Amino acid sequence: MLKFILRRIGVSALVLLGASFLMYMLVINSGDPLKDLRESNAQNREQLMAQRAELLRLDDSPLERYWDWLSGVLGCFTGNCDLGVTINGVQVLGLTQQAAASSLRLITLATLLAIVVGVALGILTAIRQYSGFDYTITFSAFLFFSLPVFWAATLLKEYAAIQYNNWIAVGQYAPWTIVIAAAVVGFVLQAVLGGSTRRRLVTAGSAFAFVAVVMFVFNALNWWREPTFGLAGVLVVSGAAGVLVTALVTGLRNRRVLYAALTTTVVGVVAYLAFAPLLVNQPSWLLLAGLFVLTLLVSAGIGAAWGGFSRRQAVLVTLVTGVITSLLVVGDILIANWASFLGLKSRPISTIGSQTPNFTGDFWERVLDMGTQIILPTVLLTLVSVATHSRYTRSSMLETLNQDYVRTARSKGLSEREVIVKHAFRNALIPITTIVAFDFAALIGGAVITEQVFGWKGMGALFQDGLNAVDPAPVMAFFLVTGVAAVLMNLVADLAYAALDPRIRR
Amino acid sequence: MKIRRLSAAVAVAASGALLLSACTSPAGNDEPAEGESTAASAAADGPCKADIGDVTTADGEIKVSNEDEFLGYNSNTPETYSTYNTAVTDRLFSGFWYWGVDGTVCPDEAYGTYEAVSEDPLQVEYTLNDEAAWSDGTPVTYADYLLDWAAQAVTEDGKVTDDASETPLFNHISGLTLGDYVPEGPQADSPDAKSFTYDYERVNADWRILINSPFPAHVVAEQAGVSTEELVTAIQDLDMDVLKKAAEFWNEGWLSQPGEVPDPALAPVTGQYDFKADGWEAGQYITLEANDKYWGTPAATKELTFRVVGADAQIQALANGDLDAINPNGPTVDTVQQLEQLGDAVKVETGQTLTWEHLDFNFGSGVFADSLEAREAFAYCVPRQKIVDDLIKPIDPEAVVMNAREVFPFQTEDYEATVSEAYDGRYDEVDLDAAKEKFEAAGLEEGTTIRIGYAAPNPRRAAEVEAIKASCDQVGFDIQDSAAEDFFDKDLPNGDYEVALFAWQGSGQITSGENIYSSTGQQNYGKYSDETVDEAWKTLSSTTDEAVHAEQRVVIEKQLWDTLFGIPLFAHPGVIASSSSVSNVRATAAQGGVVWNAEQWSRAS
């Protein structure tokens, strides 16, 4: 295995080297770096052009320039990285770190969401093939996939930012909004759950009633401006999540695992009570990270203790439940801070930027600020990726569902859950892994437009500004990051194959 | 210049104020807003900054768009010199003058005064305000200006420049021009003198804009390891040991890594705004804070934030309150329409800018080189009015065809005086008959190919060429759109075009046109040569007398029209918009952009 990894890395390094040479040559020949000066009417234009030519070393041979760049990059292995300076005299290394940090923040969340939502939708549509739900998702997937990003961004900004901000100033649903929203939820739910006409009607009717009542209660409580969730909310929702995860992984008949999940939930809520003063009074990222690790350890412990013969599954379930519970705890604190956040920032969703300039809130309010700023670009990136993920998952899932061994599994009397989760889904995951890994690498490069329209200076801006100025240093830095990301993600995909498919491990 | 919604808003505000002061309004619960800045909004009068009376800095933040990242305190190096960087740094420095909205040179008397004590030989005396001081308390003095001169005069070899062509020691955007004109440098009694004189070796017609704000000599001296007095002596004696260290710091010491606010000890300011500690988030924004050490009229609002936003995203950000003032680069019809849809929440101002579009003939080769009639035939068929009506008026309804090169239509008095003398309006309307006549007189054949070259991609210029083609093909020309990405690199210097279509950015200098129209000018791409024009430029640039400038300008313009150097088309339109809760935002044609009077902006809460 190690030999395989090393060989892969070696080959990738060679590919990167060749590609970097090609890229460098393409960039320096992509235009005229003196263009703006040629159009200038400054008196000392010639001098300025000579100065620029010296800065960019236009008179040296391309090979020399490439070698210089390469030796700067190779310096990274010996601790003195030099990625060069931009046409504006700024160190590219620092610039790249900032850009990569901001891009990764944007992309990580979008990718995770896209994987979860996309794969889930793919499975559901595969199971309900040719149903109304399937057609709706297929239609939306193609719609979102073909959306011009800048246009979708404009719409998002108009409705999810400007109109939402206008609305949140009051925070009350109009009666017709309640009716329409409830009707839509009812319709979608009956389409997803399916069944006989009668069952569909019951589903739709009860969903309609439930949503309408909830929205009415929200109105009455002025929930959108002063929301609360509370300990009870955390307990109920994480408990439900625990039951759901158990149902998916082992089935509810495995009581040990179910109890393990529920124990995790209870322990999580108790821990929330215990740590609440700390979380409210001295919050920090370090504390959150520490508590998260603690959560993982405790959850795994609970799973192992309850697990018995199904220890592995129990640990998996408690880990997932633990993570969900901790997210809910953070969510609860954020919700509790929403009212004071609205006091600081009356229009919570901005159309640009990754944070409000000079925002002066406490820790949780700052988290909310960054959270509200990241929503729109994340939604946009997610929509596009969800479309691809769901389509690939659907076809891959359909293919496995039609395999002989799935029919065998069904005919030997396994429950539908076991057939789908254990036998079909796991095998369907193999091709999806490749897509997801590639997608992550591609997203870094593909977020160029999203970053631009939402005013994030990330890798996209680095690439674009560099290329516009025919300035190789930042473009090559972009290439380094995306190239290395692509190589790494491919490696991860290979390793994931091995984990998913025992045949590959040999 | 069109001030559309603004005037309406001012009128409404004014009538509202009347009602309130009369106290007879039946709507008595209309209380005046609390915490309003004391900066009154004054109607703009003249091209310079309006007098807004006594100002106390009000708390609050005004956010303005800036399309690129801040680079550093020193905007005068070629690496950092950009509209977006100076948008920030111009707030940090005050100087002897600034550009008014129509390109007028406006003096800033709070900073100092200057006058030409002798016209020929030109001698200019500058006197700093006694209170003028850096934010660290050091007064602004002669030493700062001597360093400013040294940065534009000393060559790499440790000499004062001879003809501005040597390699300079300092990496200054303006090269060695100042040293070329003033080889002796500014003269004063002592390093800390508040008054000093520049003796020009030969007259520079643009003397008014040559000296403005300096960098702090005391900081440079400290970084070079000497005292300010020693630095002054070193410059006077051209002591290269010290100067090299000083230049090294001047060139690189003020560059910033994005996000790291310059150290206040290294970057003191003289303007109404100063850096704010921790006020810079890389790629996101930079916030300036009112400079409480400023001696004159202070900034009206405490914080000014420049957010890095592309032109596409600015309008929605304005609508959402993420920005208070925007200045989208390259506004289109869409820009204006979207802004208008925002209704009363924003004030929109459209107008012309100091960049102007023109068609230039190739005198080096091709059919237009030697034939005035051919050029006239072309000029008669170019639909200038149609181009302006179709492409520019939707953005700026007041746009007009431009009939001069050295003055802009919005510089009303000068423009009318010049155009009325220099141009009789013969090419105002398309005259196909006259064009055909000239076409025949020139002996041109039907289907003569005319390549109109410009830098692609540029949709507006493509549309212009299309309009010209529709009209001029009827005369017998065969107009070809020969746009190329490397037009300025290849086709233009090689002369592979008949007509070049591009824009000059007006620099505000009186003499910058000499480079374009005189026979030996560097920017005379078309190899135009005319004795009358050369002579007139010589006369113009060798005097400081404004009457002579105006007179020679007419001579030049007339000759350029008569010999048809080229055809001016229009001044590029500009759009600014601001939230209606912010007052005193005012458009300018000059390059400074909307932030040019940012210290006067105030918010009515």
Which chain A residues are closer than 8 Å to B290 by Cβ? none
Tell me which of A37 and B111 has the higher pLDDT.
B111
Furthest CA-CA distance within chain A: 88
Q: In degrees to the nearest 10, what's the CA dihedral of B587, B593, B599, B602? A: 50
**A469 and A33 in contact (C-beta within 8 Å)?**
yes
Nearest to B382 by CA among B337, B416, B427: B427
Dist. CA B12–CA B432, nearest whole Å:
49
The predicted model scores a pTM of: 0.87
**A374 and A456 in contact (C-beta within 8 Å)?**
no
Per mean pLDDT, which range of A242-256, A491-505, B301-315, B356-370 is the poorest? A491-505
Tens-digit pLDDT profile for residues A146-179:
888 888 899 999 999 999 999 888 888 888 989 9
Shortest Cα distance, chain B CAs vs residue A374, angstroms: 13
Dist. CA B571–CA B411, nearest whole Å:
12
Q: Measure CB to CB from residue A88 to each of B79, B287, B313 and give the nearest one.
A: B79
Q: What is the pLDDT of residue A505?
A: 65
Shortest Cα distance, chain B CAs vs residue A276, angstroms: 31
SS3 per residue for B494-511 = HCCCCEEEEEEECCCCCC
What residues form DSSP beta bridges with B286?
Answer: B280, B306
The structure tokens 């910033």 sit at B256
Q: How many residues does chain B have?
A: 605
Q: Which helix (H) or strand (E) holds B290?
A: strand B285-290
Cβ contact B488–A35 (<8 Å)? yes
Q: Which of B322, B337, B489 to substitute to test the interface with A, most A CBs within 10 Å?
A: B322
Nearest to A38 by CA among B492, B569, B73: B492
Mean pLDDT of A61-83: 87
Cβ contact B307–A453 (<8 Å)? no
Q: What is the pLDDT of residue B24?
A: 31
Which chain B residues are closer than 8 Å to A42 by Cβ? 173-174, 507
Dist. CA B473–CA B572, nearest whole Å:
26
Which chain B residues are closer than 8 Å to A454 by Cβ? 313
Q: Which helix (H) or strand (E) holds B578?
A: strand B566-579
Q: What is the pLDDT of residue B605?
A: 61
**B517: nearest CA in chain A?**
A41
Cβ contact B308–A51 (<8 Å)? no
Cβ contact B322–A51 (<8 Å)? no
Q: What is the mean pLDDT of chain A?
A: 88
Shortest Cα distance, chain B CAs vs residue A323, angstroms: 32
**B228 and B218 in contact (C-beta within 8 Å)?**
yes
Name every residue whose Cβ is closer than 8 Å to that of residue B333 and which is 6 or more positions away in sequence: B394, B395
Dist. CA B168–CA A302, nearest whole Å:
73
The per-type count for chain A, helices as H runs and strands as E runs, is 22, 0
Nearest to B573 by CA among B470, B433, B444, B460: B460
Asked whether the predicted pLDDT for residue A218 surpasses 50, the reply is: yes
Per mean pLDDT, which range of A212-216, A442-446, B498-502 is the poorest? A442-446
Which chain B residues are closer than 8 Å to A89 by Cβ? 71-72, 77, 79-80, 252, 255
Give the tokens for residue A235: 């307990």
Mean pLDDT of A275-294: 91
Give the tokens for residue A118: 């996309």
Q: Which helix (H) or strand (E) holds A464?
A: helix A459-468
Q: Measure CB to CB from residue A357 to each of B68, B258, B287 and give the nearest one.
A: B287
Q: In degrees to the nearest 10, what's the CA dihedral of B209, B215, B216, B221? A: -120
Where does the pLDDT of residue A487 fall: very low under 50, low under 70, confident under 90, or very high at 90 and above? Answer: confident
Q: Which of A41, A149, A346 to substitute to test the interface with B, most B CBs within 10 Å?
A: A41
Query: How do strand B566-579 and strand B602-603 relate by DSSP bridges?
Result: unpaired
Count of CB atoms situated within 10 Å of the CB of A413:
7
Cβ contact A357–B310 (<8 Å)? no
Which chain B residues are closer than 8 Å to A94 by Cβ? 257-258
Where does the pLDDT of residue A388 fall: very low under 50, low under 70, confident under 90, or very high at 90 and above? Answer: confident
**B502: nearest CA in chain A?**
A39
Q: Which of B161, B257, B320 to substitute to test the interface with A, most A CBs within 10 Å?
A: B320
Asked whether the predicted pLDDT for residue A194 surpasses 80, the reply is: no
C-alpha distances in Å from residue A255, one per residue of A250, A318, A421:
9, 13, 19
Asked whether the predicted pLDDT for residue A116 surpasses 70, the reply is: yes
Query: How do strand B602-603 and strand B582-583 relate by DSSP bridges?
Result: antiparallel
Dist. CA B452–CA A238, nearest whole Å:
70
Dist. CA A421–CA B175, nearest whole Å:
72
Count of CB atoms situated within 10 Å of the CB of A457:
25
ipTM over 0.90: no
Dist. CA B520–CA A239, nearest whole Å:
85
Give the tokens for residue A133: 């739900």
Q: For chain B, which residues score pLDDT lower than 50?
A: 1-40
Residue B33 has what DSSP assignment? P
Q: Kindly report the CA angle at A129 between A123 and A135, in degrees rounded to 5? A: 100
Dist. CA A177–CA A170, nearest whole Å:
14
Tens-digit pLDDT profile for residues A473-485:
999 999 988 888 8
Count of CB atoms situated within 10 Å of the CB of B53:
10
Collapsed DSSP state (helix, strand, coil) of residue B292? coil
Mean pLDDT of A370-395: 89
Asked whether the predicted pLDDT for residue A461 surpasses 90, the reply is: no
Tens-digit pLDDT profile for residues A297-351:
999 999 999 888 888 889 999 999 999 999 999 999 999 999 999 988 888 999 9
Q: Measure CB to CB from residue A150 to each of B168, B171, B312 and give the nearest one.
A: B312
Q: What is the pLDDT of residue B557?
A: 93
Q: What is the pLDDT of residue B40?
A: 47
Dist. CA B266–CA B302, nearest whole Å:
22
Which chain A residues are closer than 8 Å to B317 by Cβ? 350-352, 455
Shortest Cα distance, chain B CAs vs residue A44, angstroms: 6
Mean pLDDT of A2-10: 84
Enumerate long-range contacts of A421-425, CB under 8 Å, 24 or more apart: A421/A248, A421/A249, A424/A397, A424/A400, A425/A123, A425/A397, A425/A400
Cβ burial B512-543 (10 Å sphere, 16+ → b, else e)? bbbbbbbeebebbbbebebeebbebbeebbbb
Shortest Cα distance, chain B CAs vs residue A357, angstroms: 7
Q: What is the pLDDT of residue A299?
A: 93
Q: Measure CB to CB from residue B257 to each of A35, A90, A354 and give the nearest one.
A: A90
Q: What is the pLDDT of residue A430?
A: 83
Where does the pLDDT of residue A414 fall: very low under 50, low under 70, confident under 90, or very high at 90 and above? Answer: confident
